[in-house]
Amino acid sequence: MIEQKEAEKLRRIEKGREGKEKTKTLTQRTERTEDTEKMRRRCGEDAEKKETITGLKTGYYKSAGGRMKYYLIAELEITDQSWVADYIKNVTGMVERHGGRYLARTPKVERIEGERKLAGIFVIVEWPSKESAVAFYESEEYRPYRQKRIAGARNEFFLVAGEDIAKAAQTAG
């Protein structure tokens, strides 16, 4: 009988501890959520302060027309050189006529982090908008050069929005 009472007492103590642990965990989650919201608000407030103090816009990079810029990031491993000279000669001007601007076209890349194999050539092209980048890529004028590049290289192309989702970066604006 004494053992049964002791066992029941221990169960009540454990149940109380579990309840306290659940409450503690719920409180910690609530505090983390509140901290996250505070951080988000503060990032927005900090961005507004930076805009006021520095005169720079925050959040995303705009072209002259006020639209978000996009960046083409390309990695190329050239497997057949026959297309390269003609491509550079003709596509560079074509990109510029469509509003694009080469920021980099180079084999000089240094790995800072990661393990995947680096491509031979990296290209970064700034576009005034996503629409202008896509229009160029899909244009009839560019099509034959694109087809030759695809046939003569292993390619990875990415179109990256020029934005800071934290809205904390200072941008010229």
pLDDT tens column, 138-151: 999 999 999 999 99
CB 154 within 8 A of CB 79: yes
CB 157 within 8 A of CB 72: yes
Output the CA torsion sign for 58, 61, 66, 70: negative
Cβ atoms of 112 and 59 within 8 Å: the answer is: no
DSSP state of 113: S
CA 166/CA 173 separation, integer angstroms: 17
Question: What is residue 118's DSSP assignment?
Answer: P
Q: What integer pLDDT is reported at residue 43 of this predicted model?
A: 47
Q: Is 149 exposed, middle or buried (0-12, 13-18, 19+ CB in 10 A)?
A: buried
pLDDT in tens, 51-106: 444 444 445 555 555 679 999 999 999 999 999 999 999 999 999 999 999 999 99
Q: Which helix (H) or strand (E) holds 10?
A: helix 2-54
H or E stretch covering 45: helix 2-54
Strand, coil or helix: what is 116?
A: coil
pTM of the full predicted structure?
Answer: 0.61
Q: What was the pLDDT predicted at 58? A: 46
In a 13 Å sphere around the CA of 8, the CA atoms on its Cβ side amount to 5
